[in-house]
Copies of this chain bind each other. A is one copy, B any other.
């Protein structure tokens, strides 16, 4: 049985997971792939750290780079500096590369793809998006024949966990975050997760795959969940909605949207049942119709399973002396189209608006009058007296659901409304996605 030598760069959570899978399931892997996988070298920062694994550790990447017996380089360091150096080096040496690095893919993926294609090397990254869910394979292989019309992703487990707990127990954001940190579901610095950046990295990768589009990561609109209050969750529920942090992309003609932000979705849709640390991607293709992929979005073993799925694909190609590398994205990067994502000001959707106003006659009419001037009409309104007096704010909330409106008009109207004496706080809005399953 042919031996496949793997070099792991990084031996954190995911690296250890890859090691554990190989240890426990070596026989299955041999039976299925007819290959004898072996972790030959492991790149680490600190060679003296005690590790419960009989492996050859090194702190010097050149030990790996110069080892001609290594077939596959697995990059699990993260970040965009050393990781990039390692991947570029390996691709140029025509080694197959497997990575879980979403930030690097999102920020520098097109360059990596150009190098890979120039050297006819393979770059795999199933583990970079949605942990154990084989979503890269879905876009690259299962849906190749379809025009993707839109997709929604719950791509950040931490945020989804926090919103789930806030919804279940009515607890405020800060308290739930603290609990999540205590349980290891949120990092001590959680900003990448809760501010939507992590989800946006993953969205960038999926947009490129879905639409063969070369985009600028900075074009993606990113808004996190830290401003969501228990009050918003309660009001949303009264209107029949759940609040989720969604990564959204839609294609309409040449227009492509790419945005990460909290969203109200109808509470009887399948996405609203994706709870806790789970991830899900809901995709609509022109022929396949709607489909959904659901699983653990992070964690050692789910992510390592995806790394291994890539290792097997890479090894099978190597074993077959198959010298044709697949494109890194759905099509070769040379045939991808440079696309500027649609401006948020041009977005048309429904909105949830929460005003904090003085409890005086005529307030509702004043506000809805201004909205009307900006062509914003209302589908539903909740006005409740004095609920905020207890917290000393001396204001009451008015909550509205608009009909489909232009985001530019919403922003312009709110800038006028927020200057009124009767308005006590900056008006908060959340976008709504009413999609039919």
Which A residues form the contact surface with B (CB < 8 A)? 17, 20-21, 24-25, 28-29, 31-34, 126, 132-134, 137-138, 141-147, 212, 270, 273-274, 285-296, 299, 301-302, 304-306, 308-309, 312-313, 316, 319-320, 322, 324, 326-327, 330-332, 335
A142 and B305 alpha carbons, distance in the complex (Å)? 8
Q: Is the CB of A21 within 8 A of B305?
A: no
- The distance from the CB of A436 to the nearest CB of chain B, in whole angstroms, is 12
Partner of A320, one of B133, B134, B143, B322: B322
- The distance from the CB of A207 to the nearest CB of chain B, in whole angstroms, is 15
Q: Is the CB of A142 within 8 A of B134?
A: yes
Partner of A289, one of B25, B296, B319: B296
A34 and B122 alpha carbons, distance in the complex (Å)? 17
List, sorted by A's number, 23 A–B pairs whose CB atoms are closer than 8 Å.
A24-B286, A25-B145, A29-B145, A31-B335, A32-B144, A32-B212, A32-B330, A132-B288, A133-B291, A137-B142, A145-B308, A145-B312, A270-B273, A273-B273, A287-B304, A288-B295, A288-B301, A288-B302, A289-B295, A289-B296, A294-B294, A316-B326, A322-B322
In the complex, which residues of chain B have a beta carbon less than 8 angstroms from the beta carbon of A304? 287
* CB nearest to A37 among chain B residues: B145
* CB nearest to A307 among chain B residues: B145
- The distance from the CB of A93 to the nearest CB of chain B, in whole angstroms, is 21
Having A134-B138, A141-B312, one finds 7 other A-B pairs with CB under 8 Å, namely: A21-B145, A34-B332, A132-B288, A142-B305, A270-B273, A287-B304, A289-B295
- Most chain B beta carbons < 10 A, residue from A126, A288, A292: A288
A142 and B324 alpha carbons, distance in the complex (Å)? 21
- The distance from the CB of A169 to the nearest CB of chain B, in whole angstroms, is 16
- The distance from the CB of A273 to the nearest CB of chain B, in whole angstroms, is 5
* CB nearest to A138 among chain B residues: B134
* CB nearest to A276 among chain B residues: B437
Q: Is the CB of A331 within 8 A of B31?
A: yes
Chain A to chain B: the 9 pairs with minimum beta-carbon distance, closest first: A291-B295, A134-B142, A145-B308, A287-B301, A292-B294, A288-B305, A132-B288, A320-B324, A32-B331
A308 and B301 alpha carbons, distance in the complex (Å)? 32
A32 and B145 alpha carbons, distance in the complex (Å)? 9
In the complex, which residues of chain B have a beta carbon less than 8 angstroms from the beta carbon of A319? 324
- The distance from the CB of A95 to the nearest CB of chain B, in whole angstroms, is 19
A289 and B131 alpha carbons, distance in the complex (Å)? 11
In the complex, which residues of chain B have a beta carbon less than 8 angstroms from the beta carbon of A320? 322, 324
Q: Assess A296 versus B301: contact at CB under 8 Å? Given A25-B286, A142-B309.
A: no
A273 and B296 alpha carbons, distance in the complex (Å)? 19
In the complex, which residues of chain B have a beta carbon less than 8 angstroms from the beta carbon of A274? 270
Partner of A285, one of B137, B287, B305: B305
Q: Assess A146 versus B289: contact at CB under 8 Å? Given A32-B212, A294-B270.
A: no
In the complex, which residues of chain B have a beta carbon less than 8 angstroms from the beta carbon of A142? 126, 134, 137, 305-306, 309
- The distance from the CB of A28 to the nearest CB of chain B, in whole angstroms, is 6
A326 and B320 alpha carbons, distance in the complex (Å)? 10
Q: Is the CB of B287 within 8 A of A143?
A: no
* CB nearest to A320 among chain B residues: B324
Q: Is the CB of B291 within 8 A of A28?
A: no
Q: Is the CB of A145 within 8 A of B289?
A: no
Q: Is the CB of B296 within 8 A of A31?
A: no
* CB nearest to A283 among chain B residues: B295
Q: Assess A21 versus B287: contact at CB under 8 Å? Given A305-B145, A305-B146, A308-B144.
A: yes
A352 and B288 alpha carbons, distance in the complex (Å)? 37
A34 and B331 alpha carbons, distance in the complex (Å)? 8
